[in-house]
Structure 1
Amino acid sequence: MWITCFDYKKQKYPQTKKEINELNRTKEFMSMIYSCEEHVDIAIDTIVNEYETFPSLEKIDEEKKLSTTCEYCKNNAIYIVANK
């Protein structure tokens, strides 16, 4: 499973392994998991367990649904579960 990281202080995605490691040390990033209806509970549990915070749950816009897949089963994603 891949969790997408976004550095909201710098307003960009990390580009190198060094930037990803730096974000992991500080925990100052936004993690997002794309999920289908069936796996949304697993995505929520993952965010809660890894970041010890209440997750954000957002429905994906209709135009993005076509190209975004669930990170657990590769069906079309319906939700974005994030730590911020």
Structure 2
Amino acid sequence: MYSCEKHVEIALDEVIDEHEMPPEIELVQSQERISNRCSFCEEEAKYKISG
């Protein structure tokens, strides 16, 4: 799941609820931000969150 700065807490909650484990958070590299959008608002993603 990708998230912008504004929606990172919501994304973290969803991953925790789905996987019941602490999520991994990675900073999306600037060249990757153009092709990866926030799962909630379509802004450029700043974080990749996985469980």
TM-score norm. by structure 1 comes to 0.59
Choose from 19, 37, 50 the match for 2:5.
37
Counting aligned pairs with the same residue, the percent is 35
How much does 1:68 deviate? 1.1
Matches within 5 A, 1:5-84: 33-83=1-51
Amino acid in structure 2 at the alignment position of 1:38: K
Amino acid in structure 2 at the alignment position of 1:34: Y
Q: Which has the higher contact order (CA 8 A, sep 6+)?
A: 2
Counterparts of 1:48 and 1:40, CA distance in 2 = 12
Counterparts of 1:48 and 1:36, CA distance in 2 = 17
Structure 1: state its 5+ residue gaps.
1-32
How much does 1:66 deviate? 1.3
TM-score norm. by structure 2 comes to 0.94
In the comparison of the two structures, how many residue pairs are matched? 51
Counterparts of 2:6 and 2:41, CA distance in 1 = 9
Structure 2: state its 5+ residue gaps.
none
Q: Which has the larger radius of gyration?
A: 1
Moved over 3 A (4+): none
RMSD value, Cα: 0.6
How much does 1:82 deviate? 0.5
